[in-house]
Chains A and B, each alone.
Chain A
Amino acid sequence: MFKKKRKHMDQKTARQLITVASPKSIISEQFRTIRTNLTFSLPDEELKTLFFTSASALEGKSTISANTAVTFAQAGKKVLFVDADMRKPTVHYTFRLPNAAGLSTVLTKQITLEEVIRETDIDNLSVITSGPIPPNPSELLGSKTMTSLLEKLKEDFDLIVFDAPPTLSVTDAQILSNEMDGTVLVIDVGYTEKDSIIKAKELLEQADAKILGVVLNNYTNSSGEYYEYYG
């Protein structure tokens, strides 16, 4: 009378992630290239915290950081993906999770860290969503609680990937990038102004961020061969 599909869904929750939906596609391959490049970018040090930001909004930070986190998890690393964008959070939509509790509630000590680490359908990948939007994201991210939280997370995970707000609009990215092992700048080709990229780089350098490289988003290669510049 009712169809079989009306039982439990077997569909993965994070289906919008291309590295999950079609791991063999060219784009997924590009993400694996990003993974390899990142792994080799710090030969002498261990890369434990990785930070994604951009100059302005809507350049693809969340998509690129989420997919990068997935590829690291697929390589067998125990990965935590944290939504540090407490202004326009999206990670809970990507993984289709509730956002009543998250980073902001941990930083304001309403809830313990263990309670907000959510497992996903992807092996080795856990997520912390942003939590409700607080009135003072910069203060929360710069707090001592955040520093001790980072230390604690580093013990439990091989790699922690952060999605952050854009560098030019708010100071959050500067505050956080200072504490990270590596920062990656996402640039939307044909959208981001050169000047703003340079300005963003300056701001990050002022904050002593270690910029590992740049990911070019929406890059089309006219020669037909797929190759994305990175570095």
Chain B
Amino acid sequence: MIDIHAHIIPGVDDGPETIEEAMRMLEDAAEQGITHIFATSHAKSPQYDVSVEQIKSGVALLREAVEANDIQINVLHGQEIRIHSKLLEDLVEGKALPLGNSQYVLVEFPTREIPDYAATVFEKMLSNNFVPIIAHPEKNRPLMDKPELLYKFVKQGCLSQVTTGSLVGHFGSKIKDTALSFINHQLVHCIGSDVHNLTSRPLLYNEGINELDKKGLSKQADILIENNFRIQEEKLVIIQEPIKPTKKWWNVFQWA
């Protein structure tokens, strides 16, 4: 399996602090059956802005260490980019990284807002053959409150990535319910762990997928996993027809 969202480069953001910790995380991931992991450190976020050079040298460092420790996992480069108005320009000039050499770009919204220019930035990216993947929409406040906003972005051609920890309730029941609802509405296309460390933000990859199985969403789980493969192989992903989320009077509290 493939993990498309992980903070594993040591000492650059709120991921692992030391290479030893990073190695233990990678070992854990390999044990859970992950063969390829994208190192997606934060970029352009107010707290952390990890440069392309830092990512590339970090990935090179991890690859060496992985080989030295004989861990069966491939580390690939990527970035979790906080949305900003010059995102396309950065991608074209090589100042921002897609996932590996693919056309897919992991984009993060600020937790409490969706900037007005988001749709314009996505439009520019899509018409230049980049596909934005909205990272963990279930953890974004406006999207939780108004799921139809996510529906609009998906209709536009964006993809979205659910975080495995959200599915097992690691961030609370509300985020879990939102995540499951998004998956039920076919608004989610791929899955990532958003792993930061071994303790407070662990991998929980198989746990998340097992949770989907338990909820009778095995088919959706299969598609999420398949799409991760396709992203890594730089192929086109499977896109299902999104279902428009509606507020029904008897469950007004569903999104409250």
Contact = CB atoms under 8 A, between A and B. Distances in A.
Interface of A: 1-2, 5-6, 8-9, 11, 13, 90, 92-93, 96-101, 105, 110, 118, 132
Nearest to B206: A2
Interface stretch (B74-82, B161-169, B235-243, B248-256): B235-243
Nearest to B130: A100
Given A6-B209, A93-B239, A98 B33 contact: no
A110 B129 CA distance: 10
A22 B131 CA distance: 34
Contacts of B237: 98
Contacts of A99: 157, 239
B229 to A, nearest CB: 6
B239 A8 contact: no
B239 A92 contact: yes
A100 B226 contact: no
Contacts of B239: 92-93, 96-99
Interface residues of B, number: 22
B1 interface: yes
B126 A132 contact: yes
Main secondary structure of the interface of A (DSSP, over half): loop
A100 B131 contact: yes
Nearest to A105: B127
Interface in B180-235: 206, 209, 222-223, 225-226, 229
Contact of B129 (A2, A9, A96, A100): A100
A132 B157 contact: yes
A6 B236 contact: no
A6 B157 contact: no
Interface in B122-153: 126-127, 129, 131
Contacts, number: 52
A96 B240 contact: yes
Residue of A2, A93, A105 with most partner-chain B CB within 10 A? A2
Closest 4 CB pairs of A and B: A93-B241, A100-B126, A9-B226, A100-B157
B1 A98 contact: no
A132 B128 CA distance: 13
Contacts of B126: 100, 132
Given A98-B131, A98-B236, A5 B33 contact: no
Contacts of A13: 238
Given A93-B239, A96-B240, A132-B157, A6 B129 contact: no
Contacts of A105: 127
B209 A96 contact: no
A126 to B, nearest CB: 13
A98 B209 CA distance: 24
Nearest to B221: A6
Nearest to B189: A98
Contacts of A118: 236
B234 to A, nearest CB: 13
B232 to A, nearest CB: 11
Contacts of A96: 238-240
Contacts of A8: 226, 229
Contacts of A9: 222-223, 225-226
20 contacts: A1-B32, A1-B206, A2-B1, A6-B33, A6-B209, A9-B222, A9-B223, A11-B222, A93-B239, A96-B239, A98-B131, A98-B236, A98-B237, A99-B157, A100-B126, A100-B129, A100-B157, A118-B236, A132-B127, A132-B157
